[in-house]
Amino acid sequence: MTDITPAERHALSDAIDRALAAQQTHGKTGIAATILQGSRTLATGENEVHLQNDPTRHAEMVAIARAGHALGTPDLSGCTLISSLQPCEMCLAALRFAGITRVIFAATKARVAAKYFIFPGLDLAAFHAASPTAFETFGGIDADRVLPLYRDGAA
C-alpha cells in the first residue's frame, strides 16, 4: 500500500476541520472535499445541496468543478481527491470522468448512515472492477474525528 503524503494528510485534516465547521453553518452540510495537484491545493468545497437547492452540489462535485475552472480544463488527471466522507456513487463517477486516479477519505461507507449511498450494491470494488484505468482509494483515515457527523445521517 502506498503511503499517504504529508500534503495529503494535511489536506484531509483541513477537510475534516471544514466539515465540522460546515455542520454549524446554515445551508451547508458537514461534508468537505479538496482537490490536490501534487502537494498544491487546486480547489476546496463543502456540501451545498441545501444551500443551492441542487442535489448535485456534493462537496466533491463542488471541488471538482472549481478545480476544472482553476486549470481551465475538465481533465484532472494526476490529481487527488480528498474527502471527509467516502465519495458516493455520483461523486465516484464524476471523479473518474475527470481522470482523478487517487482518492483519500476519512469516514467509510461501512461506518455511516445508509442515506449517504443510494445504491448499496455499487461499492468501491465495483468501481475498481468497471474502471478501464486503475485508481487508488485510501479510506478510514482519521475517521473517528468525523464519524459523529455521519453515523445517524444528520449531516
| Structural domains of the chain sorted by starting position, each given as residue range(s) with its CATH number in brackets | 6-149 (3.40.140.10)
Q: Is 60 one of the catalytic residues?
A: yes
Evaluate if residue 2 carries a pLDDT over 70.
no
pTM: 0.94
% the chain with pLDDT above 90: 77
Mean pLDDT over 71-92 rounds to 97
Confidence at residue 120, expressed as pLDDT on a 0 to 100 scale: 80
pLDDT digits (tens, 9 = 90+) for 26-75: 777 899 999 999 999 999 999 999 989 999 999 999 999 999 999 999 99
Confidence at residue 29, expressed as pLDDT on a 0 to 100 scale: 82
Q: Mean pLDDT score of the chain, rounded to an integer?
A: 93
Residue appearing with cell numbers 461534508: 31
pLDDT band at 1 (very low <50, low <70, confident <90, very high): very low
Residue appearing with cell numbers 446554515: 26
| Residue 150, CB-side half-sphere exposure with 13 Å CA sphere | 27
Q: Which one of the listed residues 8, 46, 48, 60 is annotated catalytic?
A: 60
Confidence at residue 23, expressed as pLDDT on a 0 to 100 scale: 85
| Residue 140, CB-side half-sphere exposure with 13 Å CA sphere | 2
User: What does the block give as the cell for 83?
Assistant: 474527502
Mean pLDDT over 110-132 rounds to 89
User: What does the block give as the cell for 50?
Assistant: 441545501
